[in-house]
């Protein structure tokens, strides 16, 4: 996530949850999110570190034509490559803007040398991918649109199964029960999320994993430990 507008509080960040949900539905874990300034060196250092330690890296923001759009340069530097004009993008931009085309518009044809341009039948404007790094725009509507291209490329590794249980118990009372389930089902991720001032429940428990049967058994083991009158509801 790249952009001073997020770090200055001008704009609430909106893309993480969309990316997280797509990855989750494809069985891919989102392990880390980093939000940094529009600074070439900062971006380059971060991309080098994250791209070399993760399967995929997705950047959001900083791909427009203005002075504060430096993601392409940052990603190029991370891979020790130059920035070049993509002839394919240049042609599309010139065809789009015609006689109104400025040097500013043409800056959107810049890519790291060696980058691939990814498209689908539905999202024909190319999305830049530099090895395992996807360069996505920050504007939420376009970011979400481009996730379709990502989705077509990353494959499906089997969705996570997730169950939720809502209770009126607080986390202090739930702890012993949860510990028992966590110890018995090491491959099920058990989450506990207190809600503030909701009349319908106090704590939401989630049971997640790749094996549907095991996730179901963990949830049922938890249900069997609950006192009378619980849970409030399940999902």
Interaction site with a copy of itself (CB under 8 A): 1, 4-14, 16-21, 23-24, 29-37, 64-68, 97, 100-108, 139-142, 160, 170-176, 178-179, 182, 189-197, 206, 208
Indicate the helix (H) or strand (E) that contains 84.
Answer: strand 83-85
Of 29 and 156, the one with the shorter C-beta distance to a copy of itself is 29
Name the β-bridge partners of 167. 203
**In the bound complex, what is the minimum distance in angstroms from residue 27's beta carbon to a copy of itself?**
12
- The residues, ordered by sequence, that sit 6+ positions from 163 with a Cβ below 8 Å of its Cβ are 206, 207, 208, 215, 216, 219, 234, 235
Of 139 and 223, the one with the shorter C-beta distance to a copy of itself is 139
Of 123 and 139, the one with the shorter C-beta distance to a copy of itself is 139
Q: Would you tell me how many other CB atoms lie within 10 Å of the CB of residue 144?
A: 15
Of 81 and 230, the one with the shorter C-beta distance to a copy of itself is 230
**In the bound complex, what is the minimum distance in angstroms from residue 110's beta carbon to a copy of itself?**
12
How far, in whole angstroms, is CA 27 from its chain's centroid?
13
**In the bound complex, what is the minimum distance in angstroms from residue 99's beta carbon to a copy of itself?**
13
Helix (H/G/I), strand (E/B), else coil: 190: strand
**In the bound complex, what is the minimum distance in angstroms from residue 2's beta carbon to a copy of itself?**
11
Q: Would you tell me how many other CB atoms lie within 10 Å of the CB of residue 129?
A: 22
């Amino acid at each position: 996530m790249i952009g001073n507008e997020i770090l200055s509080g001008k704009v609430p960040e909106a893309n993480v949850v969309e990316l997280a949900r797509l990855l989750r539905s494809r069985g891919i874990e989102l392990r880390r999110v980093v939000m940094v300034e529009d600074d070439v060196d900062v971006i380059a250092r971060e991309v080098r570190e994250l791209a070399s330690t993760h399967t995929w890296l997705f950047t959001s923001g900083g791909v427009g034509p203005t002075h504060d759009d430096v993601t392409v340069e940052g990603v190029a530097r991370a891979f020790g490559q130059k920035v070049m004009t993509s002839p394919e993008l240049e042609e599309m931009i010139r065809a789009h803007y015609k006689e109104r085309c400025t040097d500013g518009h043409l800056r959107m044809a810049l890519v790291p040398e060696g980058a691939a341009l990814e498209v689908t039948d539905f999202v024909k404007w190319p999305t830049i991918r530099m090895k395992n790094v996807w360069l996505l725009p920050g504007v939420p509507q376009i970011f979400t649109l481009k996730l379709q291209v990502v989705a077509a490329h990353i494959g499906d590794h089997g969705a996570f199964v997730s169950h939720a249980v809502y209770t009126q118990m607080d986390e202090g009372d739930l702890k012993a029960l949860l510990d028992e389930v966590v110890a018995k089902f090491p491959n099920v991720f058990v989450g506990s999320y207190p809600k503030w001032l909701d009349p319908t429940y106090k704590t939401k428990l989630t049971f997640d994993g790749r094996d549907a049967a095991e996730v179901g058994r963990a949830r049922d083991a938890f249900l069997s430990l609950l006192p009378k009158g619980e849970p409030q509801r399940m999902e």
